[in-house]
Structure 1
């Protein structure tokens, strides 16, 4: 199976989710739906990135 580069939208969504989770964890920012769920948000961001590499056109 050949992997493709993810689309820019998929990549940026993954980066934004990761940065929001890290800002919440490191700096103690309060962001609704992310505060206290940093692990799951980073896991979701990585799944988005992986599926963007596996699936064509995402």
Structure 2
């Protein structure tokens, strides 16, 4: 970002507690912490189930 870009940005910054604006200008509420935890756990679990790429396994094999 250049100095000119920064100078042209006159939007007020959002506070930490302000909800984001969604489609159509409606404000979204933040998801409860329990839902966020479940979503993060799901992504993490899915990542653990992914296969290790063959190229990476070949590199690991060269180390031993």
Shorter-chain TM band: 0.3 to 0.5
* Greater C-alpha radius of gyration: 2
TM-score (norm 1): 0.42
TM-score (norm 2): 0.38
The structure where helix makes up a greater share of residues is: 1
